[in-house]
A and B are shown apart, each in its own frame.
Chain A
Amino acid sequence: MSERVGTQGLLFNEPLLWERGSRGRSGMSLPRADVEPAPVDEDLVGNGPDIPDLSEPEVVRHYTRLSQWNFGIDSNMYPLGSCTMKYNPKTNEKQAARPGFAGAHPLLPSELSQGALQLMAELEQYLAEITGLDAATLQPAAGAQGELTGMLIMHAWFKHHDDRRSKIIVPDTAHGTNPASAALCGYRAVPAASGPDGILETAVIDRLMDDETAGIMITNPNTLGFFEENIKAIAQIVHRHDGLVYCDGANMNALMGIVDLAAAGVDILHLNLHKTFSTPHGGGGPGSGPVLVRKKLEPFLPVPRVVPDGKGWRLSDDFPLSIGKIHAFQGNFGVMVKAYSYIRSMGADLKRASQLAVLNANYLKERLKGVLHLPYDRPCMHECVFTDALQQPYGITTLDMAKRLMDYGFHPPTVYFPLVVKDALMMEPTETESRDDIDRFVEALEAVAKEAVESPELLREAPHVCKTERLDETEAARNPRLTG
């Protein structure tokens, strides 16, 4: 085995912010007071918040130390399934920080914000082209808000046609946000079980779909990493009952330039710009979850929309059937700039990115077969799912292996999801990992699997070289301490 990348660096201890500092210090320069103090209504005045005073060097050291306890994609491979942890290009950050973008007030008159509006209009066009659908909104701030937007569009569509529907079909492999978004719209999620191959069978949908059901939320590729081959036939069934097909496109990274989702019968789709289009996840956000629709649903998209106006663009609220607003302003524009930069940098290579993402996942799957149990042994798309069945006889669980991988310098895969696979380890290498890095990851897992047999206690007590050992989550939940 090549040398382990995980090692014990010099990590600093660092107290909580308010355990530092001293009253009267300051880490920010304030403008001079160039006007006279004005009288204030004393009835309204408060004592001011209890926030510690720190100098600039203290602030810098505090957060620098904290950052060193974190693992990012720039540290090493981050094969977190369903999350598309691909490399986040540095130039994208620079583009979003340009004064004309970062400094643009959201209520600027359209003549004075033509650059931002043009960028949004073009990004909408590119996303439509990439997915095959007709029109887009960039307003949703993340995938789940995109799902909600899509559900609201469905809701509005049926209401407009005087057709009240109460249910929606959600496969058992769906991400938790799908049923939660449907529920926010008042739809009852009807679970659909996937078949023995890990994909939906037409007959199941035929049985579940009726005139009370708004349609289906289908993730393609699904969270097992398989292409829903029957999607077109399923869509036909849904359409026969005048239902609508919603596609969770969070896994679009497998399909760009390869699959036409409109041809597959999809009516509404969301994308995660913070996955497929390389914008950083930021420790949990911000994201952006554009929604694409077919022509007939375009009137229901959120307002404001970017519309052509003579030679340029403007924002328009003039869409009487619109579901309304979903974000205070136009959505997470800063994230859009990064995705736009990515698309312009990649061009037609987006297709190659999808191809290589799929190659990497299949290569990883093939290499790990036998090291870990592979519940579905068939070609996958961008990700593959294993279990701990081979390690269980030694009393080793998915969680133990995940924690031990940290000692080898890798972020663990997604664990215990999707729920249909018991004790799952879900791996998505993405296209930006080289063969060498995947090989090193495989070697690490091989070593962990060997340890599971020979020295299982090493795994049970892992991790050993992180900032902390395993943390007591039970205590945290029994006696929540959420502020200090």
Chain B
Amino acid sequence: MRYLPHTDDDISTMLRVTGADSINDFFAVVPEELRRPSGMALPDALTEWELNDLMAALSNADTGATDFLSFVGAGSYDHHIPETVPFLAGRSEFATSYTPYQPELSQGTLQAMYEYQTLLARLTGMEIANASMYDGASALAEAILMALRITKKNTVALSTAVHPFYRQVVRTYVEPTGCSVLELPVLESGRTDLLTLASSADSAVAALQSPNFFGCMEDLPTAARIMHDQGGLLAASFTEPVAFGLYRPPGDDGADVACGEGQSLGIPRSFGGPGVGIFCTRSRYVRSMPGRLVGKTRDQSGKRGFVLTLATREQHIRRERATSNICTNSSLCALSSAVYLASLGGSGLRRLARLNYDKTEYLKRNLSEAGWTMPFTSPTFNEFVARIPGDAEEAHRGLREKGILAGVPLGRWYPDLRDCLLLCVTETATREDMDRLVSEVRS
């Protein structure tokens, strides 16, 4: 096998040094009844070329990834990725290194993560960011756990306009804490009902998503005011950070934690992962936050350098009292998103965001003319809900036969919205693409 360098000669020389007769001697400590009598029933090893054929066949069976015109978003977005992103993040000095515990040999990763933290803090309007979490859902769950620790309160207010999968993950994470979860309903506008939040008094945290699952921008300043009056925190989640190239970011609106998914920033969808969990907060919460942090410092000769810092929060030091159990995070994806943001630049991000917005409005307008209605009135970014005359699942299937994936039907999560689709338009959709959808809808 080409990954295994040992010749028979090597093996016998090495055995001689160790004083063992055979490799089996090292396993003498394994009790007989725990050994595997026969080998593993695994398929035979493939050559590199056979593997290529197999994987080509398997990946080609994912026809949805390649053969359809897609308007599916819902937490995973199709954006153009410049070739520089996979090329640079794929450099093996980045890809084949471990967590930068030895800073002198890891300045590349460390400076890149310091820059990532800075870029993400600027993008979300927050003061600090960590060096990444697993994904947007666990970032939100951890934000909620952090708020429970800080406020020592016992109720979590969770908007039903938060991605349904994120809400499921939050419930899984908080289940053992015994805290109660209050679900906040959605108004006609497509925004979260903040009156319910105001009247519910004593929550540790309100978790909202903006843009929310329906694409609508939430009223974060009001939510922040309500929470701060109660002595609680506002956690603002997001699945589409490109929105902050156009709209005010959560930090400017008073959020205490801005957390979400960074897949949009130069990371392929890959059937849902890996992406990158973004976690940003205020400096005053730095010692309560989960995840690794990179800090700036100097070496003995006074030269600028970077290290992992405030590690006493983490599991390898504080063990059961750590702020989180996270160890491996999503570093390489965080690097991809930094390269992406660096490539785009502030000016580029503004233009890109505007393009997403304008195209989405174009499709909304044209679908309205074609007879679909938009049930929610609040401003959206690059996703929106459309109500269709008839059954959404059926319409979705019909369009699929025409080679179009018309978003996702919402009935699965919101029975009231059984006749609605959630559609997404990014810069990758051309006017012709959208016109094609509209003309199919018309016919």
Contact = CB atoms under 8 A, between A and B. Distances in A.
A333 B275 CA distance: 10
A327 B248 CA distance: 28
A295 B288 CA distance: 39
A35 B358 contact: yes
Contacts of A56: 82, 84, 343
Nearest to B58: A115
Interface string B252-270: 1000000001000000111
Interface in A453-484: 461, 463, 466-473, 475-477, 480-484
B78 interface: yes
Given A26-B345, A100-B59, A102-B270, A59 B107 contact: no
Contacts of B303: 468-469
A320 interface: no
Interface string A208-246: 000000000000000000110101100000000000000
B315 A177 contact: yes
B267 to A, nearest CB: 9
A285 B129 CA distance: 17
A24 B111 CA distance: 24
Contacts of A390: none
B77 to A, nearest CB: 9
A48 B310 contact: no
B121 to A, nearest CB: 5
A contact face: mostly helix, strand, loop, or mixed = loop
Interface string A332-352: 111101000101111111111
A324 B171 contact: yes
A114 B303 CA distance: 53
Interface string B319-333: 111101111111111
A28 B339 CA distance: 11
Given A113-B271, A141-B134, A283-B335, A466 B316 contact: no
A85 B273 CA distance: 22
Interface residues of B, number: 204
Contacts of B275: 328
Interface stretch (B67-75, B193-201, B226-234): B67-75
Nearest to B87: A60
B4 A66 contact: no
Contact of B319 (A36, A98, A180): A180
Contact of A328 (B29, B163, B333): B163
Contact of A347 (B19, B45, B62, B295): B45
A264 B135 CA distance: 34
B345 A95 contact: no
B248 A471 contact: no
Contacts of A68: 93, 108
Given A483-B128, A483-B129, A70 B107 contact: yes
Contact of A106 (B114, B272, B349): B272
B176 interface: yes
Interface in B51-82: 51-52, 54-66, 68, 70, 72, 74-76, 78, 80, 82
A299 interface: no
Interface stretch (B152-160, B181-189, B384-392, B424-432): B424-432
21 contacts: A17-B119, A28-B340, A56-B343, A100-B59, A100-B62, A105-B76, A107-B74, A108-B62, A113-B62, A116-B62, A259-B30, A284-B332, A285-B134, A286-B274, A286-B329, A287-B328, A323-B172, A328-B75, A346-B45, A359-B15, A471-B305
